[in-house]
Chain A
């Protein structure tokens, strides 16, 4: 792996590294400014942003799943690779069923992860299960890899009585304290400076744990992203920033989102180690995340990984992407450069996975998802008292009064409220 450090010469001249305060000495011809340490230059020259041949994309497998440089093969065991494959496909199966269930009016909303399964599983596998994860909303595979059961995915989407979130949020806003996955919130990029703070706290506690923060290339335009990058670098936080660059922010393509060389090129501007990887290559994602994590913890500095991928599905069930992109474009990625099929080719080439295995696993995974789904459908919704708790740690007097007023009203007008669907 080649990491782009802040001192690298990619743009044809040195990018300034960390500042060192030195005594001012005007007899020296070197610039003495506190703000930057560099040489003088006597001719006018603007820096050309290098977008045409930007930061290269690290990959381990070609699109047919064949290892290109054997020394980069992480040489994971058959068991580990099968687990990667099964997690990616289980996610895909769950996505299909839950997307459909929204179409049928069973759940209110859903977001699929089609095409980005490699970014989830490759990165999750490279972490310590105790590393805190801050996500955006398209990282369900990370949670699945860590062992979040289908029942709880469903419970959150159905907002039923088993939902750890107590039915308070829209579908796909998962969270798990046990699995160290901070609950998702809708506002974009807010998690980025939070991840820096959490990493700082972990550093102070000497846990030797890292924090990982996922976001899309669209969210990277938010001010919070700039804040998070800058804070993590200046405060020396053991943090991995993982950007899923999937080509679209709802309908906005990348050439309307940014004009520079993607998100990876911003890293050196903050003094941050940066890399761009093929997000559809689960081994490349794995290798980069593993090394980033090792060094982030050992050296207390943030790492930026930009995983290039493609959002095969619509933004959400509220979106129809045929309004802004062609079916041909989507089909290319689905058929010719998909993380799941690339890994399958890798496995079949080693005789680790047969047609029969594929058929049988498809059937089994579908059955697992359907069982969880049917169970979740039948469960009650949480008790309406839970509308009023957890606003503060304690129940405040105004909320006690408001809860009582609500029940008095609902008792009086009970035929207009769907009480039967809720826990008693």
Chain B
């Protein structure tokens, strides 16, 4: 019988503790014992996600690896192929690229190319993701678009502690290799009441967080909180009713929920921190105009980062903040 983690017994929990301790804990005691590894995982991790796990579960299950992302993911794939539930941590999503070959050419294609003889479905890769106020080029990136183009993996991004636990547990249980991006700004900022028992949130299902009739707003991760404010502003200042959707899973994504909403509202705004060109909003926009062309009252709006590397001192100007999104809603309404 699973006994609750002492720090999260029916009280408020922030994303980092919730994000890891619970979910990994739950998996670690289940039939298929998990291993969690990566740089600095043993002492608790640079974001404290793995604090306490080594003492509780042992050094053979919670361990440091050498500083080598291609090794971390390659090792994780091999462990998963051999039957272990492998949770590989990449210290920042900005550093995932050395592992790109292992993720795209190996993990994603393992089952297909072997005719289902072999697979690495037991692999979950976790990485801190997104802007944090001062992260600059290499501690702020949102690389989901690179991986959205890769059939065979799943890409999942939670907006808060409750979703983090449910989605991460789903990823770990899912028999496909998953990449789980954790919005690092929310590690300390987001605090929520989280149920102590295990629960999963289904993958590839977008959530309509708030219903509305005039404009559909789509985002994921941190940007959901920005759009929530924008929805309030739109209601108060413009009398406009917004329907807010958290995509949650980037790949495979829930086209049905988004298209159903746009068929109703006729207006769509998609927002993400990642640069606009080739960003995931482009895929959503393209699919929606195919499926909902005659429903559209205005061109689909994308409010995203500029096509620059993520800057340091210019972050306040770079990010798709609520004013930019609010302005875009105004244009959608008045088209």
Contact = CB atoms under 8 A, between A and B. Distances in A.
- The answer to whether A and B belong to the same complex is yes
Interface of A: 132, 134, 163-166, 168-169, 173, 175-177, 182-183, 185, 187, 190, 192-202, 204-205, 211, 223-224, 226-228, 230-231, 234-235, 389-393, 396-398
Interface stretch (B58-66, B214-222, B299-307): B58-66
Interface in B50-79: 60-61, 63, 65-66, 68, 70-71, 73-79
A193 B82 contact: no
A193 B78 contact: yes
A390 B75 contact: no
B113 A231 contact: no
A193 B71 contact: yes
B105 A190 contact: yes
B83 A205 contact: yes
Nearest to B63: A235
A211 B81 CA distance: 12
Interface string B256-283: 1000000000000000000000000000
Contacts of B105: 185, 187, 190
Given A168-B112, A183-B114, A398 B255 contact: yes
Contact of A190 (B86, B102, B116, B256): B102
A187 B108 CA distance: 13
Contact of B79 (A169, A192, A197): A197
Contacts of A204: 33, 35, 60-61, 84
A387 to B, nearest CB: 10
A134 B120 CA distance: 14
A292 to B, nearest CB: 19
A230 B66 contact: yes
Contacts of B84: 197, 200-201, 204
A389 B121 CA distance: 15
Instruction: Please name the 5 residue pairs, one residue from A and one from B, whose CB atoms are nearest each other, closest first.
Output: A197-B78, A193-B74, A227-B71, A194-B78, A183-B114
A227 B70 contact: yes
Contacts of A196: 71, 74-75, 78
Nearest to B120: A194
17 contacts: A166-B116, A169-B113, A175-B115, A176-B117, A183-B110, A183-B117, A183-B118, A185-B109, A190-B101, A197-B74, A201-B78, A201-B84, A224-B74, A227-B66, A234-B65, A392-B154, A396-B204
A183 B70 contact: no
Given A201-B82, A231-B66, A398-B252, A192 B117 contact: no
Given A187-B106, A228-B71, A165 B113 contact: yes
